[in-house]
Each structure stands twice: as structure tokens, then as C-alpha cells.
């Protein structure tokens, strides 16, 4: 903090360097001038979990299983403040003890100009071509990237959109990322594709239709999974899928069951027996294709193999679309009422689909300068993380650290407390980050040991918010962090 004239103070917690008048807050709403003191507006979040249950001891009559030891506390980076301009130690370097081992957690909020989101949208519906621009409020905030199994993927944010375009592009990108990281809904449009509402942990809404199910597998996998259940009930099954359409009697699964070839040839490029690529264009129809009448994908029916009365099921990879046909005397498929046993297998496909969700991973580099808040020799922190001596968390949530250089991490935003993310108008996102290690390892990597404070002193401070530890997250403090003893 720098004092300026007439009780106005200058915030130096980010490069914006706001001048904040008494009683006012800075541009990011995170810092205020409280009686001339630069004050972090949000409380420091401390997550608490009950200690292990005390084992039943002889003579402890009357004990009914209640927890009788105080809770363990983990100081998160949420509300902690930043190290900017980074030559100073992190806001909190907290000593604690776990199972007789002295531990240290370095707690900070990182300002991430280099950060992005990986968004996984569980749907087969066509959202747009790979590499297409993802637009929000008329600005490009990212692009469509490689689809994964049953999901469409987006890459959003990143330095290219945060700082490399116009000021408005940066601000819109930052706001969209902030909303997504806070598990709020954001409407996007994909050039040449769909309008999609995405929200971490919620089903995607594609062109105003809420997606219900993630496909059970590709068409080929669906054939393999359910072939035996169809055996004897039908003469052919075609599972319509934008990626791999499966044809039962040609497929290895049908051959394994000694099913005679039914002679139905589907459009597209045959990859291997019973597996066809590109049977139609991608779209919002059956199995992520643009097909609304499944018979469109039948190229021909071989009269030498097919026969009148032959039974044919056509179904999508989610079981949402299904039709039953019988061939007439001219070998033309005629739609007929689906027999109950066939319905049951179609319903089994649907039952095996998982609920469609949108998942948002925050990805950032805990890079150059942020590490200086931990140690005077930043590369040693990187090495310590690489050697699993230091555990990295974001708001207490576990992260995945990419191999290779730097500390490039990914974290599921739904595992982080709701108040985790903020922003600064550079623009960049602010996110909590904690580094936990043995105290001896902290000293070895050149840590700011003179700045270590006792956990109790942090807990005794004002402006704390205590929250229960999310049981789905592993407890980050303990001798498991670091080399085996
Ligand atoms: S934007 Fe926020 S963190 Fe940056 S200088 Fe202003 S008040 Fe401080």
C-alpha cells in the first residue's frame, strides 16, 4: 500500500494501482480504504474438518461417538490477498502439524493473466465445426477444440483473448470466465453452429433444448454392449452415430453370435466390418447426425441376403431415438410397433447413459512471479512440486499439474468454494492457490521461513469465514505430502 494525498491510498495488489478514497473500494471490488488502511474486502476462508473419531476405549461409558477433538483447519487462498509485485512473501505462510510432522502451507491469491478454461459438454449434438469461434456478447472468447468421447470440448479464455484483442474482448472474456468459474450460466454462440448455455455442473442447453443424456458409447460400442440382449429378438440392429455407426450382423459382436448377414448397407465410409464413418452430416438429429429419418442412411438392401419379414431396429446411442421396421415383400422397410422385449433393450441403453453435464476446468500457470511469494529461488518450488514434495491446491481443491516446465495446473471449479474467483481489470482472473509441504522441505527450497506464522494466530485473526471441508476433496495437509519417511 502507498499513501497518497488527502487520505487516498494506492492499492498495489495488482498492476492497476487503484487510488482508493476513504470508505471506497478499488476497481476489482476486492480492496477497500478502511480508515486509511488497505483492506481485503472478502473474508479469509478457512475450511475445517472434524478430526478422526476417537476410538472406543474401555471405560468410556457414556461416549456416544461424538467428535471430541477440535476440528482441523486449512487456510485457503480465498480472501488472502496477493503477493503483487511478487517480491514479497505470500500473504500467509502457515505452520501446522499433522501426525507429528511439521508442515507449512503457503497461501496466496494468484493473478492469472495466462489462464483459460477447458469446457466439456456432454452431448452428441453438433455444436459447431472444430476450430470455430466461440462468441459471447459479440466477442470471441475461445474456440471449439477436439471432441472427446461423447462430449464436445471448448477452449476458452487464454492470453490471446484476455489481452491480445480489443479491450472489450478482454473484458467480455474475463467476465465469461469469471461466471463459469463461479458456476454461473453463460450463453455462448458458436460460429456456424449452435447457441449453447453452459454452466459448470449443470446440463448444457443446446439451441434451447436441455440435454438429458450423455451417449452410452459410440455406435460400435453400443452394438458390442447390447448384442447379446438383442440376439434372437431381431435380425439386424443399426446404431446411428455421427462418429461410428454400428451394424450388428456385420460387426464382430454379431459374427461372434453367428448372426447371418442381413444385407443392409449403410452410407458412409466403412472402417472395419460393421463400423461406418460419416454416414451423414453432423447435426441435432439421431446420434449427433443431421438425420431425422433413420432410413436416410440406408444405401441399399441386398436381395441376396435380406428377406421379407426381416426385422430391423434402428436406434441412437442414447436410446432417445428408436424405430422398428419389418421388410415387406419388396424388401422395403415398413415401420411397425416395437415389440416389448426390444423396447426393454432400448430403455437399457438409455439407463446406461449418464446425465449430461457441463464440466469446467480452470487451467493456469502458477508461473514466474507467483512462485516468488513462496521462495527466493522459484525454480526450486517447481522442482519440489515435480518431485511430489509440495502439494498444490486451489481453494483446497486438488489440482492436476501438467508434466513439463512450469506449474501448469487444472482444477475442477465445482470442487472449489463458490467464492473462490475474482478478477482484476488488467484483465485477469484471481484464484486461490496453496502450496503445502513439510517444513524441512520448505526451508530446503529457500522458503520465506521468517514469515511463517502459527496456524492458531491466523485462526485468531478477524475477518475469517469458516466453512466445512468438502468431504469429496482429499485433506491436503499430512505426511503423505513429501518423500516417504
Ligand atoms: S484492481 Fe483491485 S487489486 Fe488491483 S489495484 Fe485496484 S483495488 Fe487493488
Given a cut of 50, whether residue 294 has pLDDT beyond it is: yes
Give me the DSSP letters along 51-66: PPPPPP-TT-TT--S-
Q: Which helix (H) or strand (E) holds 44?
A: strand 44-49
* pLDDT single digits (tens) 88-122: 899 999 999 988 899 999 999 999 988 999 999 99
- Ligand 1 centroid–CA 7 distance in Å is 17
CA 422 to ligand 1 center in whole angstroms: 11
More confident residue, 434 or 63: 434
Q: How much is the average pLDDT of 243-255?
A: 96
H or E element that contains 101: strand 101-112
Position 56 scores a pLDDT of 46
Decide whether any atom of ligand 1 lies within 6 Å of the 74 Cβ: no
* Residue 17, ligand 1, Cβ within 6 A: yes
Give 61's pLDDT tier (boundaries 50, 70, 90).
low
186 pLDDT above the threshold of 60: yes
Residue 370's pLDDT is 82
Ligand 1 centroid to 73 CA: how many Å? Answer: 29
Check residue 24 and give left, alpha or beta (phi > 0: left; psi -120 to 50: alpha).
Answer: beta
Q: Which of 71, 150, 132 is nearest to 357 (CA)?
A: 150
pLDDT tier, 1 (very low <50, low <70, confident <90, very high otherwise): low
**What is the residue-averaged pLDDT of the chain?**
92
CB of 380 sitting under 6 A from ligand 1: no
The pLDDT score that the predictor gives to residue 369 is 67
What per-residue confidence (pLDDT) applies to 78? 97
Going by pLDDT thresholds of 50, 70 and 90, the confidence category of residue 4 is low
The alpha carbon of 184 and the centre of ligand 1 are apart by a number of angstroms equal to 23
Q: Does residue 425 line the site of ligand 1, with CB under 6 A?
A: yes
Tell how far the Cα of 121 is from the centroid of ligand 1, in angstroms. Answer: 34
- Please state, in angstroms and rounded to a whole number, the distance separating the CA atoms of residues 371 and 348: 51
Digit-coded pLDDT (tens) for 263-285: 999 999 999 999 999 999 999 89
- pLDDT digit string, tens, across residues 438-466: 999 999 999 999 999 999 999 998 899 99
Q: What is the pLDDT of residues 380-403, one digit of tens each?
A: 999 999 999 999 999 999 999 999
CA distances to 48, 58, 61, 107, 230 from 64, rounded to whole Å, are 22, 13, 8, 37, 54
pLDDT > 90 in the chain, percent? 83
Q: Which of 178-192, 235-249, 453-467 bottoms out in mean pLDDT, i.e. has the lowest?
A: 453-467
**Which residues neighbour 223 within 8 Å (Cβ) at sequence distance 6 or greater?**
237, 239, 246, 247, 248, 251, 253, 254, 274
Which three three-digit cell numbers place residue 100?
507429528
**Res 83: pLDDT:** 79
Beta-bridged to residue 116, according to DSSP, are 157, 363
Residue 104 vs residues 379, 432, 448, 455, 476: alpha-carbon distances, Å = 18, 16, 11, 9, 11
In 159-251, which residue ranges form alpha helices assigned H by DSSP?
A: 159-162, 167-181, 219-230
Peptide bond into 85 cis (omega under 30): yes
Ligand 1 neighbour 16 (Cβ under 6 A): yes
Listed residue (308, 304, 313, 305) closest to 286, CA to CA: 313
Question: Which ranges in 270-366 belong to alpha helices (H)?
Answer: 340-351
Residue 47 backbone dihedrals phi, psi, to 5 degrees: -100, 135
Work out the average pLDDT over 175-179: 98
> How far is C-alpha 28 from the chain's CA centre?
25
What pLDDT band is residue 483 in, cutting at 50, 70 and 90? Answer: low
Model confidence at 2: pLDDT above 60: no
Query: Of ligand 1's atoms, which has the minimum distance to the CA of residue 14?
Result: 4
Q: Report how far ligand 1's centroid is from the alpha carbon of 452 (Å).
A: 26
Residue nearest to atom 5 of ligand 1 (CA): 17
Q: Predicted confidence band at 71 (pLDDT cuts at 50, 70, 90)?
A: confident
Ligand 1: residue of 1, 9, 11 to mutate (most ligand atoms within 8 A of CB) is 11
- The pLDDT value recorded for residue 85 is 75
Q: Does residue 14's CB lie within 6 angstroms of at least one atom of ligand 1?
A: yes
Residue 258 Ramachandran class (φ > 0 left, ψ -120 to 50 alpha, else beta)? left
For residues 128-148, b (16+ Cβ closer than 10 Å) or e, as one string? beeebbbbbbebbbbbbbebe
Distance 20 CA to ligand 1 centre (A): 9
Counting ligand 1 atoms within 8 A of each CB, the residue from 10, 19, 28 with the most, and so the one to mutate, is 28
Give the pLDDT score at 140: 98
Measure the CA–CA gap between 400 and 158, rounded to whole angstroms: 18
For 23-59, how does the pLDDT look when each residue is reduced to its tens digit (9 = 90+)? 999 999 999 999 999 999 999 999 999 865 444 444 4
Is there an atom of ligand 1 within 6 Å of 11 CB? yes
pLDDT digits (tens, 9 = 90+) for 332-391: 999 999 999 999 999 999 999 999 999 999 999 987 668 888 998 999 999 999 999 999
pLDDT band at 70 (very low <50, low <70, confident <90, very high): low
Structural contact between residues 249 and 235, judged by C-beta atoms closer than 8 angstroms? yes
pLDDT at 485 over 50: no
Distance CA 335, CA 325 (A): 4
CB of 26 closer than 6 A to ligand 1? yes
**Is the beta carbon of 416 within 6 A of some atom in ligand 1?**
no
446 Cβ inside 6 Å of ligand 1? no
Nearest to 119 by CA among 187, 186, 206, 198: 198
Q: Which residue out of 31, 84, 111 has the highest number of ligand 1 atoms within 8 Å of its CB and is therefore the one to mutate?
A: 31
Residue 422, ligand 1, Cβ within 6 A: no
pLDDT (average), residues 305-325: 97
Q: Mutation test of ligand 1: which of 19, 26, 81 has the most ligand atoms closer than 8 Å to its C-beta?
A: 26
Backbone conformation region of residue 81, classed left if phi is above 0, alpha if psi is from -120 to 50, else beta: left
Rounded Cα–Cα distance for residues 435 and 322 (Å)? 52
Ligand 1 centroid distance, CA of 363 (Å): 22
Amino acid at each position: 500500500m502507498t499513501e497518497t494525498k488527502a487520505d487516498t491510498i494506492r492499492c498495489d495488489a495488482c498492476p492497476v494501482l487503484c487510488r482508493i478514497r476513504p470508505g471506497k473500494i478499488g476497481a476489482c471490488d476486492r480492496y477497500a480504504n478502511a480508515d486509511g488502511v488497505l483492506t481485503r474486502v472478502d473474508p479469509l476462508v478457512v475450511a475445517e474438518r472434524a478430526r478422526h473419531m476417537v476410538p472406543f476405549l474401555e471405560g468410556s461409558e457414556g461416549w456416544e461417538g461424538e467428535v471430541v477433538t477440535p476440528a482441523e483447519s486449512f487456510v485457503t487462498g480465498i480472501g488472502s490477498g496477493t503477493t503483487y509485485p511478487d517480491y514479497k512473501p505470500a500473504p500467509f505462510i502457515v505452520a501446522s502439524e499433522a501426525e507429528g510432522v511439521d508442515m507449512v502451507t503457503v497461501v496466496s491469491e494468484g493473478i492469472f493473466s495466462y489462464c483459460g478454461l477447458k469446457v466439456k459438454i456432454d452431448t452428441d449434438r453438433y455444436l459447431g465445426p472444430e476450430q470455430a469461434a466461440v462468441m459471447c456478447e459479440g466477442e470471441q472468447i475461445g474456440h471449439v477444440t477436439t471432441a472427446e468421447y461423447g462430449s464436445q470440448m471448448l477452449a476458452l479464455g487464454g492470453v490471446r483473448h484476455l489481452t491480445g484483442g480489443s479491450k472489450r474482448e478482454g473484458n467480455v472474456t474475463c467476465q465469461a470466465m469469471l461466471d463459469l468459474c463461479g458456476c454461473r450460466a453463460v450463453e455462448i454462440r458458436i460460429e456456424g453452429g449452435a447457441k449453447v448455455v453452459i454452466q459448470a455442473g449443470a446440463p448444457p442447453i443446446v439451441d434451447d433444448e436441455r440435454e438429458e443424456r450423455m451417449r452410452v458409447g459410440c455406435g460400435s460400442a453400443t452394438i458390442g454392449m447390447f448384442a447379446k440382449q438383442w440376439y434372437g429378438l431381431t435380425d439386424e440392429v443399426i446404431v446411428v452415430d455421427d462418429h461410428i455407426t454400428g451394424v450388428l450382423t456385420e460387426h464382430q459382436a454379431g459374427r461372434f453370435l453367428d448372426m447371418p448377414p442381413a444385407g443392409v448397407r449403410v452410407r458412409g465410409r466403412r472402417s472395419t466390418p460393421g463400423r461406418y464413418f460419416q454416414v451423414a452430416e453432423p447435426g441435432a438429429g439421431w446420434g449427433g447426425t443431421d438425420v431425422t429419418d433413420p432410413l436416410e442412411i440406408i444405401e441399399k438392401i441386398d436381395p441376396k441376403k435380406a428377406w421379407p419379414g426381416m426385422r430391423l431396429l434402428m436406434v441412437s446411442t442414447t436410446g432417445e431415438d428408436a424405430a422398428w421396421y419389418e421388410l415387406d415383400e419388396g424388401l422395403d422397410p415398413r415401420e411397425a410397433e416395437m415389440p416389448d422385449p426390444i423396447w426393454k433393450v432400448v430403455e437399457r441403453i438409455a439407463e446406461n447413459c449418464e446425465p449430461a453435464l457441463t464440466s469446467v476446468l480452470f487451467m493456469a500457470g502458477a508461473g514466474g512471479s507467483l512462485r516468488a511469494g513462496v521462495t527466493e529461488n522459484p525454480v526450486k518450488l517447481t522442482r519440489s512440486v515435480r518431485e511430489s514434495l509440495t502439494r498444490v491446491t486451489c481453494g483446497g481443491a486438488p489440482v492436476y499439474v501438467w508434466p513439463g516446465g512450469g506449474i501448469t495446473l487444472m482444477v475442477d471449479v465445482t470442487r472449489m468454494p463458490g467464492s473462490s474467483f475474482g478478477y482484476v481489470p488488467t484483465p485477469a482472473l484471481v484464484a486461490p492457490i496453496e502450496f503445502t509441504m513439510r517444513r524441512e522441505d520448505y526451508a530446503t527450497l529457500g522458503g520465506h521461513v521468517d514469515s511463517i506464522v502459527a496456524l492458531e494466530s491466523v485462526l485468531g485473526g478477524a475477518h475469517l469465514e469458516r466453512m466445512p471441508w468438502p468431504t469429496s476433496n482429499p485433506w491436503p495437509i499430512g505426511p503423505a505430502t513429501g518423500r516417504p519417511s
